């Protein structure tokens, strides 16, 4: 894929870093670290650029909390970046842990970060869906996504590396 921008979804603050909902931040952090990039702060985001497929790609971590992730999209739109040139990296309840996939377009499936981006860009952007599994009781979803992974740090880190490799293909 030839992305011009990548948005990793998560919530700002150290208390959220290891939660399931922040896997998007962790994946783009690893991508940027491998490229030797440094994050810069601007308005409601952290951003930088990495090299992918011999092109410069903007990478963003919204600092707005999940529900308002789409507020960073105006920055990308001003740079002429279209929905089809955007990759959003996020946690996916509908997939078991360790299941990672790329998908173009679709609904938010209740994911508030995706809803926010769809409200600005429409649904036709690329997504890297990182499976986190789902609790049996849907009322437990808010607490579940804000909890830490039950899998070991080594398992999570290995899956993060797989996700980065998928982005780099």
Q: Please, are residues 42 and 72 in contact by the beta-carbon 8 Å criterion?
A: no
Looking at 21, 53, 90, 111, which residue is catalytic? 21
Contacts with 75 (C-beta within 8 Å, 6 or more apart), sequence order = 42, 43, 45, 47, 60
Instruction: Mark whether 111 is an active-site residue.
Output: no
**3-class DSSP state of 106:** coil
Q: Where do the DSSP E strands lie in 19-158?
A: 40-42, 45-52, 55-62, 86-92, 100-104, 126-131
Residue 163: CA count within 13 A, CB half-sphere: 34
Q: Catalytic residue positions?
A: 21
């Amino acid at each position: 894929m030839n992305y011009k921008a990548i948005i990793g979804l998560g919530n700002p603050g150290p208390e959220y870093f290891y939660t399931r909902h922040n896997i998007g931040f962790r994946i783009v952090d690893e991508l940027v670290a491998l490229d030797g990039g440094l994050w810069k702060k601007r308005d409601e985001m952290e951003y930088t650029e990495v090299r992918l497929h011999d092109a410069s790609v903007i990478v963003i971590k919204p600092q707005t909390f999940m529900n308002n992730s789409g507020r960073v999209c105006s920055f990308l739109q001003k740079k002429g970046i279209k929905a089809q040139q955007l990759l959003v990296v996020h946690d996916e309840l509908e997939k078991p842990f360790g299941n990672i996939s790329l998908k173009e377009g679709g609904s938010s499936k209740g994911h508030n970060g995706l809803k926010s981006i769809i409200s600005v860009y429409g649904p036709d952007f690329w997504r890297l869906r990182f499976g986190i599994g789902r609790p049996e009781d849907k009322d437990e979803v808010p607490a579940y996504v804000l909890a830490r992974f039950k899998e070991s740090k080594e398992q999570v880190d290995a899956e993060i590396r797989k996700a980065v490799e998928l982005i780099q293909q």
